[in-house]
């Protein structure tokens, strides 16, 4: 209803943002398995709407490189170092169960291919998440609420919420992701564009990929099999022929 109203009123801030939200929500509810795919499709539809509707052209002013001066570079490096330390501490101290991430994202391939895949995934995932949260969402909030702390906080909360089952995960993971979202929002505003938060996010995702591939994957392979359900063809039959029962009890098999 709000999306329809935004289009009816020709609200240049809310119309493309509401389209992005409706598409992402519809894809998520329809069962699209990876949220990165949901965000990517939402961004493509957003770009099509902004370029295709005459009265919306020129509204995506966030989609530019921006600056990367000494101040922005220092902020980006500090944010990356803090994120790397937090991620490593979270994994090494809490020993979270991320077997589902290993199963979903780490195929049985040589280590070199896994490293290359991790780099590609880091670049694509950073582009999708930064485009969605520090691009579409923060831009719409800045236009609606003004470029204050409220807009930064709301986009950070939205970013943190998707990490309830991500990396890091749980409520602590949500809190860490919220703080990271705040830092990325500050960097995006200071840089006036998307390159600085994107490259910072890439290096952060490289740390995550390294933890998953180099630490979690070997640990997962060494997990004991106790407690796992045994496949049916390995299970011992519940009834045995007389000869088997006699041998098991220490006697001799009956002669024919």
Q: Does the bond joining 34 to the residue before it have cis omega, within 30 degrees of 0?
A: no
Are residues 209 and 121 in contact, defined by beta-carbon separation less than 8 angstroms? Answer: yes
pLDDT-derived band at 233, boundaries 50, 70, 90: very low
Model confidence, pTM: 0.82
pLDDT tens, position by position, 35-60:
889 999 999 999 999 999 888 888 88
Q: Per-domain residue ranges for the chain?
A: 1-60, 63-220
The rounded distance, in Å, linking the Cα atoms of 38 and 41 is: 5
pLDDT tens, position by position, 146-203:
989 999 999 999 999 999 999 999 999 999 999 999 999 999 999 999 999 999 999 9
Three-state secondary structure call for residue 251: coil
pLDDT-derived band at 245, boundaries 50, 70, 90: very low
The rounded distance, in Å, linking the Cα atoms of 237 and 115 is: 45
pLDDT-derived band at 223, boundaries 50, 70, 90: low
CB atoms inside a 10 Å sphere around CB 217: 21
């Amino acid at each position: 209803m709000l999306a329809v109203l935004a289009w009816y009123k020709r609200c240049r801030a809310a119309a493309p943002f509401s389209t992005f939200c409706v598409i992402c929500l519809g894809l998520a509810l329809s069962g699209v398995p990876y949220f990165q795919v949901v965000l990517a499709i939402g961004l493509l539809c957003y770009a099509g709407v902004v370029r295709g509707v005459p009265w919306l052209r020129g509204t995506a002013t966030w989609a530019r490189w921006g600056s990367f001066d000494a101040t922005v570079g220092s902020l980006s490096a500090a944010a990356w170092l803090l994120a790397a330390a937090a991620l490593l501490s979270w994994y090494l101290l809490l020993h979270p169960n991320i077997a589902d991430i290993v199963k979903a994202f780490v195929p049985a391939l040589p280590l070199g291919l896994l490293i290359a895949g991790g780099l590609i995934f880091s670049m694509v995932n950073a582009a999708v998440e930064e485009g969605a949260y520090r691009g579409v969402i923060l831009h719409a909030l800045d236009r609606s609420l003004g470029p204050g702390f409220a807009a930064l906080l709301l986009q950070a909360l939205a970013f943190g919420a998707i990490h309830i089952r991500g990396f890091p995960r749980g409520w602590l993971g949500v809190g860490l992701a919220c703080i990271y979202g705040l830092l990325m929002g500050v960097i995006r505003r200071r840089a006036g564009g998307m390159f600085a938060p994107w490259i910072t996010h890439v290096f952060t995702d490289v740390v995550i990929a390294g933890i998953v591939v180099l630490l979690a994957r070997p640990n997962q392979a060494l997990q004991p099999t106790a407690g796992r359900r045994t496949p049916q063809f390995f299970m011992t039959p519940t009834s045995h022929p007389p000869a088997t029962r006699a041998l098991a009890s220490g006697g001799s098999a009956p002669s024919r």
